[in-house]
Amino acid sequence: MHGANATGRPFTGDYAGILLYRTLFDFGYSNRPESKACDDGLELFNCRITNAVKCLPPQNKPRPDEIRQCNVFLRGELAQLPAGSVIIGLGRIAHDAVLRASDMRLAPYPFGHGHTHRLSDGTLLIDSYHCSRYNTQTRRLTGEMFTGIFQRASELLDSRPVSSSDASGMSA
């Protein structure tokens, strides 16, 4: 209601975006540490942000049918990522949606903060607890933990062979 649906950019205008955009900035994936509106001049570099669900679900918790219906859109977005990309899945819903969009079974790839999974096309998925207000206030996710996820993603991106046509890198 106050985030992407109101602003047109994922995690803009909601609490989760505070930690996300500050971390993107700290790692050089954006030109500013906060996102206030879709026309605020923020630019992302070698990074894209998407959502597993494209609508505002009741109580901000998507139903399984909404996740399934939107998976076709996520599948299309993931197909556009260059070879060697790293995906950071923010929460179990994102983790499961990425696996489904990659035609992979969930059971062999359990969600766990900091776990890394190789997808069927070679893309890497790193799990992170969602950067929601609830997770940060309860300290299930701390700023240091979140930074560690981005540090790992950056290390993986830095160590991959890159072709001259590969200009992108990370998706959150």
Tell me what percent of the residues of the chain surpass a pLDDT of 90. Answer: 67
Handedness of CA 145, 147, 152, 153 (dihedral sign): positive
Coil, strand or helix: which one is 146?
helix
What value does the mean pLDDT of the chain take? 88
- Structural domain boundaries in the chain: 4-159
pLDDT reported for residue 164: 43
110-127 per-position pLDDT tens digit: 999 999 999 999 999 999
The stretch 14-19 carries a mean pLDDT of 89
Could you tell me the pTM of the whole model? Answer: 0.88
With beta carbons less than 8 A apart as the criterion, state whether 157 and 170 touch: yes
**107/96 Cα distance (integer angstroms):** 10
> Which CATH code for domain 4-159?
3.40.470.10
79-108 per-position pLDDT tens digit: 999 989 999 999 999 999 999 999 999 999
Does 23 score more than 80 pLDDT? yes
125-169 per-position pLDDT tens digit: 999 999 999 999 999 999 999 999 999 999 999 887 655 444 445
Amino acid at 171: S
